[in-house]
Every structure is written in structure tokens, then in C-alpha cells.
Amino acid sequence: MMVLITYDVNTETAAGRKRLRQVAKQCVNFGQRVQNSVFECQVDAAKMREIEERLLKIINPELDSLRFYNLGNGYKTKIKHVGAKLSFDVSEPLII
């Protein structure tokens, strides 16, 4: 399934900026960065839990927010892209 992860991390303090870097790093590990704080992850349910766990350990729930949008398996009809920053689909043939 495709899960969209977006986040807002409060960067007023040094600790906040550290959290931002860590959250971003974990998101890059599992998904494709489609916009600055928006990631598309092609995962199964187990992997999704793992990502959630990892992110929840990092953030401060009082200051930061995380959103997970589950787009399911039929995600191709649900995404429309306009403009720069073309993404690619990791389930299509990957030939470089």
C-alpha cells in the first residue's frame, strides 16, 4: 500500500531542529521525498508499524505533528501531480 507521511516539527529550539533532522532521516529511509516534508512510502502493514514506532520515539507530541494518509493499493488513481519535482513509482520497472 501507499502511505503519505507529512510532518511539522517545531524548530524554535535546538532540540526541535534536531528532531526535525531525525524525523526527516527516518522518512528518507523508508520513502521517497516528494516535497520538503512530504514522503510517499510504498510499504506493507508491518513496515508501516515499524515506521510509526520509530517516528513516535523521535517527536515531541506537544509541539510536533505527524500525519499518515493511507492511500491503499489503488493509489495510482488518487495522486495527481502538477509541476516540477517529478517522482517515480517504486513498483514500476526500475531501470537506470
Partner 1 sequence: MRKLHNILYVTHPDAYLSLDGENAVILEKDQEVKRIPLHNLEGIITFGYTGASPALMHHCAELGIALTFLSAHGRFLCRVEGEKHGNILLRKEQYRVSDDENRSLEAARYIVCGKLYNERAVLLRAMRDHSMQFDCEKISNAAERITRAITMTEKCLTLEELRGIEGEAANAYFGVFDLLILQNKNDFFWCGRTRRPPTDNVNALLSFCYSLLTHDCAAGLESAGLDSYAGFLHRDRPGRQSLALDLMEEFRAPMCDRFVLSIINTRQVNASGFLQKENSAVIMDDNTRRDVLVAWQKRKQEEIIHPFLGEKAEWGVLPLVQAQLLARYIRGDIDAYPPFLWR
Grid coordinates of 57: 520515539
Confirm if 1 and 70 have CB atoms less than 8 A apart. Answer: yes
Q: Which residue type does 90 have? A: V
**Cβ atoms within 10 A of the Cβ of 25, count?**
11
Query: Is residue 25 at the binding interface for partner 1, with CB under 8 A as the rule?
Result: yes
Instruction: Lay out the site mask for partner 1 across 40-79 (x = CB under 8 A, - = otherwise).
Output: -xxxx--x--------------------------------
Rounded to whole angstroms, how far apart are CA atoms 22 and 24? 5
Of 11 and 54, CB closest to partner 1: 54
Range in contact with partner 1 (rule: CB under 8 A) among 5-13, 27-35, 55-63, 77-85? 27-35
Interface contacts to partner 1, rule CB under 8 A: 25, 28-32, 41-44, 47, 88, 90-96
